[in-house]
Amino acid sequence: MKLIDEFKTFAMRGNVVDLAVGIIIGGAFGRIVSSFVADVIMPPIGLLLGGVKFTDLQIILKDPVLDASGKVLQQAVSINYGNFIQTVVDFIIIAFAIFMMVKGMNSLKRKEIVAPTEVPVPLPTHEELLLREIRDILKTR
């Protein structure tokens, strides 16, 4: 039972839960950005470059092997550099979005730190209290 309690304490710590939420949201965010790049950004770029679809760009190293009826017996061997270009653009957009988010969070933290804090006034020492009493007695004479 001790192992289960220890695991429960570990799993319910704030950092672990925050990390899990971050990974899940990050995965979903990555899919959204991938779709944005593949479906919104790359088609106009491909159109400007003469109707190129980036995911179709490849270098064929070995042609596919076909039988007499045209059925593929062995797939072609190719370097799919179009997928690589697509992935690089996805990464750049995701990295920029995360950079902007972290930059915004850091600016919010700086504003919190800059806020003035009240400095506690130290209590007078015993000697200071005695000196004040002496001062007050001398003033009355």
Residue 14 lies in a domain: yes
Domain limits at 98? 2-118
Contact 106, 98 (CB under 8 A): no
Within a domain: 12: yes
SS3 content of the chain, % helix, strand, coil (to 5): 70, 10, 25
Count how many domains the chain has. 1
pLDDT band at residue 116 under the 50/70/90 scheme:
low
Residue 137 within any structural domain of the chain: no
pLDDT digits (tens, 9 = 90+) for 43-66: 888 888 888 787 888 999 999 898
Give the CATH number of the domain where residue 38 resides: 1.10.1200.120
Domain for residue 75, yes or no?
yes
Torsion from C-alpha of 112, 114, 116, 119, nearest 10 degrees:
100
40: number of Cβ within 10 Å:
9
Q: Report the C-alpha gap between 86 and 38 in whole angstroms.
A: 7
19-35 average pLDDT score: 83
Asked if residue 83 belongs to a domain, the reply is yes
Q: What is the pLDDT of residue 60?
A: 92
C-beta separation of 79 from 59 below 8 A: yes
Q: Which token pair is 111?
A: 């504003």
Q: What's the alpha-carbon Rg for the chain, to the nearest Å?
A: 34
Query: Domain for residue 133, yes or no?
Result: no
In a domain, 124, yes or no: no
Within-domain flag for 109: yes
pTM score, whole prediction = 0.52
Residue 41: per-residue pLDDT: 84
* pLDDT band at residue 120 under the 50/70/90 scheme: confident
